Amino acid sequence: MKTIKFNNDERKRTGVAEDLYFIINPVAQNKGSQKIWQQIEKQLLTNNIAYHSFYTEYKGHAKQIASEILSKTDKDTIVAAVGGDGTLHEVINGAAGYPHGIIASIPAGSGNDYARGIQRSKGYMEAISLILNNSPKKIRCVDIGHLETKETQAAFINSFGIGIDAEITYEVNHSAWKSRFNALKLGKLVYIYFFLKKLLTYKRTDMTVVIDGTEHVFKKVWFIVTANQSYFGGGINISPHSEDDDGWFNLIAVHDIPHVKLLLVFITVFWGGHLRLKNVTSFVCREVEITSKSPVKIQADGEIVGDSKVRAKMLMRKIRILAKES
């Protein structure tokens, strides 16, 4: 593991404070994150705000940097991710277990569901204002989840899903179309594009779901999402009743629905009307285990974390964040 060295050659700073760090993913949003970071730097310098900044160099690097930062101090420390939900996911995993960490997101990705649903900021300028005008009232303690698959263990803060949503996530992250949509400032529409593309080819499968100890079997599942907040897939209001600090997951299973009716689900999901449809089944829970009859991918916060089987549990009010007052 590469050691992160905290010296003047690797960080930029002004003033005397040492409790504000930015972790920048330079390739997010077709490298548009670098332009956003330049604007953020101007705001920091204009306001004479002291800070440290680090660029990620490979997948998993943001997690490592966040952990290194917080392991070297025991005072309140803001760690801000400059990137998309994937970058934020890594920072959350690096910060989990450090109660003095305070997480913020400068949205610079395709979906930015964390900024939309939990941080409650509309863009990067509103996000940086949370830091520049920080007060105790804007620091919230929120829930996160912890999941295990055959491949990994990870924390998540938005949601995890198994089924067509994860298959779409995989294709989005491995397609040149993501770059094309981002270049047109239409990053969140790429998920809609791949949903429509995948609709006729996706092979549904049966899934067994154990929810707080009670077993349920769902036939011909399109997807099951276990949500800690309302949004996924670039602003789709999949779980309108989710609260990030109530100690409960909201689980939504979409199953045994023909292809044409799934389009109706997709249309109504933008205002939460899908929850009233037949074969859209919802639960609240603190622990869940999902096993798919056939291989299918699993995503957490927009990152692929395994396939076919996953177990997750709620960690109540486990991490502190900066958020806009509602």
Does 125 share its domain with 152? no
Question: Residue 298's domain is classified under what CATH number?
Answer: 2.60.200.40
Q: Rounded CA gap, 61 and 94, in Å?
A: 9
Does 128 share its domain with 273? no
- 69-81 pLDDT, tens digit per residue, is 999 999 999 999 9
Number of domains making up the chain: 2
By residue range, what is the domain housing residue 172? 147-316
Does 186 share its domain with 287? yes
- 270-308 pLDDT, tens digit per residue, is 777 898 889 999 999 999 999 999 999 999 999 999 999
Does 97 share its domain with 154? no
- 199-225 pLDDT, tens digit per residue, is 888 999 999 999 999 999 999 999 999
Does 153 share its domain with 302? yes
Q: Are 103 and 92 in contact (CB under 8 A)?
A: yes
> What global pTM score does this model have?
0.89
- 224-256 pLDDT, tens digit per residue, is 999 999 998 778 899 999 999 999 999 999 999
Q: Are 127 and 107 in contact (CB under 8 A)?
A: yes
Q: Are 324 and 138 in contact (CB under 8 A)?
A: yes
* Element spanning 166, H or E: helix 164-173
pLDDT value of residue 268: 87
Buried b (16+ CB within 10 A) or exposed e, 35-67: ebbeebbeebeeeebebbbbbbeeeebbbbbbb
- 130-169 pLDDT, tens digit per residue, is 888 766 568 999 999 999 999 999 999 999 999 999 999 8
Nearest Cα neighbor of 42 from 14, 9, 79 is 14
